[in-house]
Amino acid sequence: MIWIALAYHLASRLAYVLYVGFTLHRQDRTAYFTKRYGAEAAFWRFRRVAAVVMANDAVSLGVLCLVSLNTLHLGVPRGLTIAVGAVLALVGVATKIWAAATLGDGYYWHNFFRPADRIAPKAAGPYRWLKNPMYTVGYLPVYGMALAASSAFGLVAALFDQIAILTFYHLVEKPHFERWRRPPPPPPPPSEPVVRSAPGSARPPSLDTAPGQPP
């Protein structure tokens, strides 16, 4: 049962990261979804599916921790591991809520569908101290859940989850935001008008015209 739960959770994490990653990468490169559905409709279609795969991922981790309960033996009192796990969960959840409130709809990658929408100043909220609070401190709850359940399999899954989301960040999210923050290129200089002579307006030079003088 533990191995089935572990396999299901790893598949759920891959489904989450691959769906979100490929969808946003395609949208970022070609604007395929906004061209097909319009900006808001495309965003909400994406958000509904993303919410389902994210919820499935979270539930599958909880189930894994329950079925692999007490497979981690640290040699410390059980109450201490539960307390440390609870603290990690509280700190991580609070950080993620704060970051999500700072980003607004950016939490669901809204500006991939509306690039003109700014999501947050660089130094707002927890971003004043952390470059990426969502995927660093915000991931403490998965470790806290595994630790509170004394689940060795849960800790392995938590590490896999964070590596997967950081890979997504470096391959999809970070390049998008770097292009988004880059100032637009300056407009090209105006071209000089080309003066064309009307047909028949040119006269052949006279034989007695001095060099450099009009005929």
Among residues 30, 11, 211, which one has the least CA distance to residue 112? 30
Number of neighbouring beta carbons within 10 Å of residue 28: 19
pTM for the structure as a whole = 0.78
Q: What is the percentage of the chain residues whose pLDDT exceeds 70? A: 77
> pLDDT value at position 130?
86
* Mean pLDDT score, 82-97: 95
Q: Is a pLDDT exceeding 70 seen at residue 106?
A: no
Tokens (6 digits) for 210: 């001095």
Count of Cβ atoms closer than 10 Å to residue 34 Cβ: 18
| pLDDT, the chain, mean | 85
Highest mean pLDDT among 25-34, 99-108, 185-194: 25-34
Segment 156-189, tens digit of pLDDT: 999 999 999 999 999 999 998 887 666 556 666 7
Q: In the structure encoding, which two tokens stand for residue 203, read together?
A: 């006269």
